Structure 1
Amino acid sequence: MFSRSSSTGRRRLAGIAAVGTAAALALTACGGSSDPLSGGGTSASSTAASSGGGGGSLVIGSANFPESALLANIYAKALDANGVQATTNLNIGSREVYLKALEDGSINLVPEYSGVLLQYFDTSATAVSSEDVYAALLEKTPTDLQVLDKSPAQDKDAVVVTQDTASKYNLKSIADLQPVAGEIVLGGPPEWATRQTGVPGLKEKYGLDFKEFKALDAGGPLTLNALLGDQIQAANLFTTDPAIPANNLVVLEDPQNLFAAENILPLIAKSKNSPVITDTLNQVSAKLTTEDLTALLSRVTVDKEDSVAVAEDWVSKNITAGSGSSGSSAASSTATSG
């Protein structure tokens, strides 16, 4: 995820970071909840459900790709149903941008991906499996932040090629690119130029020297269209992307485990957490599956349904309103400083 990747590495470098941070600060100053970077396309959840009471309030951010925004909307609707005033500030930018907003209080919560988040906090991390990644993440998360329960749902970064390219070069794994990388243009989010889960990691683990890296978007339409149009021959897409089966694309295997487990989980400012928030978000994580996420994302990106409506539909079927217990214990996954 992800580079999902980014949404380390998943998903804009210095210029975008400056704009994103300024926008986040402006949000704090104005007390608003819409995202100035999104051109007015984001939405805020309604005020807290009257039955919940006393749940507090918080601002939920997201990275700049549809799945992250969808997850933020799911969190907002679930919290809303349990008496927490949840507003959204969506499509902020890459991890480098939205984590600054989380640190300065412009946002208080963001959906994350375990593997890339661990690599962001610990560039020397070697954990690969879901459990090992999560255990390491609990140790390396800064003391002012907290990760809650991980979901079984995963969305991983992937190197993807067309069926024609796979057949031409007999590609089944990323390793198979090594003798032909000089003929291939790789496309992905700008941050892939420097992230360990991007170009540097592909060179280190697989010895790949591509003809060119083309900075596009985080698993979005620019990258997909460039791949389908043969402007690039390999692309960073995310494994839950419905465009992969729809276009008969080939996800290359990752035998060197460049991309670790990417379980979806909430990352929250510890000062804004509460038992009801922990309970509610842990319920979301327990219920959300990879199959759910793939189907929900297809409704948003393929069927063009409204992300907020899709999130609300899933929450209404899976999360019981008022089920967040204000008397429950605090998150079991309290992070400690690395």
Structure 2
Amino acid sequence: MSDDVKPGLIGQGEPLKGADLTVTSKSFTESLIHGAMMGIAFQAAGAHVVDRTGIQGSIGGREAVKNGDADAMYEYTGTAWITYQGHSTPIPDPRQQWQAVKDADVKEGLTWLPPSRLNNTYALAMNQDAHKKYGTRTLSDVAALAKKDPGAVTLCVEGEFANRADGLPGMEKKYGMDIPAKNVTQMDTGIIYTQTAKGSCTYGEVFTTDGRIRSMNLVVMDDDKKFFPNYNAAPEINTGTFKKWPAIAQVLAPLTERLDNKVAQQLNAKVDVDGEDPHQVALDWMKKEGLVK
């Protein structure tokens, strides 16, 4: 990375001067933005940064940090707990979920820093017309509507969500829903948003930080029984690197503290809706926030 940045709220005194750090990320928009943010923060603190963002699939980035091919990335607590650490039951409290992931990964040579409020988890959303018609605000409301008027609850979902224990089957069980198979249409993620906005289905499966929620003015149902796992973004650091450069924690703290779902939706929309470059979006926002200059 070769951004012309100087310390702002991040990097005063250049505590990472002399460090050679490699940052990585997954290949989807939000992760690319996080990888850029992390690299920009390290540069402002004086480090030389190699950009290895955009690794395909979930596991590649984590393996790179584990084996030292990369030094750090933003990862999701729920992904680590369920996908990497093999648990089937999420922990409802976000801080406890992070702590459990952090403790389990010590033996893997990975150090987790405190999490952000950004929680990129599953949800159901509806367009404004459907919201005015049915007035549902929570998944319990959706369950009540499905009982009262079974034909009213039609779903657009991904194939994976339709079959995963932490997706539709588990949600139906938790909320006492019984949605007929004919009311569930499986489709690709991107199409779900447009079909939900059009009203082709009453509810669409969405990710809570997706920029299209804002741009399409969708209403997200609250998971009032806390069924879906917490997917809070948090820095995951190679432990050897962290021991050598413990200032990484203070460098990333002001950045992580500012990440929440509202910020994520705004920044993701700049890429997915407006077609902007993820790295530039990250840089512009960090300058606007005074994190770097």
TM-score with structure 1 setting the length: 0.67
- For residue 202 of structure 1, give the secondary structure of its aligned residue in structure 2: helix
Q: 2:259 aligns with which of 275, 288, 307?
A: 288
Cα pair 1:48 1:84 within 8 Å, conserved: no
Q: How far does residue 71 in structure 1 lie from its aligned partner after superposition?
A: 1.2
1:235 aligns with 2:204: yes
Taking the aligned partners of 2:24 and 2:4, their CA distance within structure 1 comes to 14
Equivalent in the alignment of 1:3: none
Aligned to 1:38: none
Q: Does 1:140 align with 2:104?
A: yes
Q: Residue 76 of structure 1 aligns to which amino acid in structure 2?
A: G
Corresponding residue to 2:223 among 246, 254, 268: 254
Q: How many residues align?
A: 271
- AA aligned to 2:93 is S
User: What does residue range 161-200 of structure 1 map to in structure 2 within 5 Å?
Assistant: 161-167=126-132, 171-175=136-140, 176-177=142-143, 178-179=146-147, 180=150, 184-188=154-158, 190-200=159-169
**Aligned twin of 1:333:** none
The correspondence for 2:232, drawn from 247, 252, 263, is 263
The answer to whether the aligner puts 1:72 opposite 2:42 as a matched pair is no
Gaps of 5+ in 2: 7-13
Moved more, 268-277 or 141-150: 268-277
Q: Distance in 2 between matches of 1:302 and 1:214?
A: 23
Q: Residue by residue, what CA displacement relative to the aligned partner does 1:183-233 show, whole Å, maximum 9, x if unpaired?
A: 623313x5424443312321331244452351413xxx3321232344544
- For the pair shown, the structure with the greater C-alpha radius of gyration is 2
Q: Distance in 1 between matches of 2:180 and 2:60?
A: 27
- One-letter amino acid matched to 2:193: L
The one-letter code matched in structure 2 to 1:172 is: R
Structure 1: any 5+ residue segments left out of the alignment?
Answer: 1-44, 322-338
CA contact (8 A) 1:226 1:232 kept: yes
- Map 1:35-184 onto structure 2 (within 5 A): 45-46=1-2, 52-64=16-28, 66-82=29-45, 83-90=47-54, 92-93=56-57, 95-96=58-59, 98-100=61-63, 102-103=65-66, 107-120=70-83, 121=85, 123-141=87-105, 143-144=107-108, 145-167=110-132, 171-175=136-140, 176-177=142-143, 178-179=146-147, 180=150, 184=154
State the secondary structure of the residue aligned to 1:143: helix
Alpha-carbon distance change, 287 to 161 in structure 1, aligned in 2, over 3 angstroms: closer
Sort the Cα spacing of 1:167 and 1:314 in 2 relative to 1 into closer, same or farther, 3 A.
Answer: closer
Residues 167, 290 of structure 1: alpha-carbon distance in 2 compared, 3 angstrom cutoff: closer
Aligned residue in 1 for 2:250: 279
Partner SS state of residue 141, structure 1: helix
Match of 1:226 in 2: 195
SS of structure 2 residue aligned to 1:312 = helix
Q: Secondary structure of 2:165's match?
A: coil
Change in Cα spacing, 1:140 to 1:205, as seen in structure 2 (3 Å) is farther
Deviation at 1:278, TM superposition (A): 3.0
Q: Distance in 1 between matches of 2:185 and 2:73?
A: 29
Letter in 1 for 2:91: A
Aligned structure 1 segments of 4 or more residues deviating by more than 6 angstroms: 47-51
Show CA shifts across 1:208-265 (max 9, x none): 4452351413xxx332123234454432223333432443322112122112444321
Residues 301, 198 of structure 1: alpha-carbon distance in 2 compared, 3 angstrom cutoff: same
Q: 1:242 to 1:304 in 2, by over 3 A?
A: same
Q: Relative to 1, partners in 2 of residues 1:181 and 1:160: Cα closer, same or farther, differing over 3 Å? A: farther
Shift of 1:159: 1.1
Q: 1:168 to 1:266 in 2, by over 3 A?
A: same
| Structure 2 counterpart of 1:46, one-letter code | S
Question: Which stretch of structure 1 is more off in the superposition, 102-111 or 276-285?
Answer: 102-111
CA 1:252–1:88: 2 relative to 1, 3 Å: same
Moved more, 232-241 or 96-105: 96-105
Q: TM-score, normalised by structure 2?
A: 0.75
Partners of 2:139 and 2:221 within 8 A in 1:
yes
Contact 1:79 1:86 in 2 (8 A): no
**Contact 1:48 1:86 (C-alpha < 8 Å) held by counterparts:** no
Cα distance in 2 between the residues matched to 1:92 and 1:166: 37
Contact 1:58 1:272 in 2 (8 A): no
Question: In the alignment, which of 270, 274, 287 is matched to residue 299 of structure 1?
Answer: 270
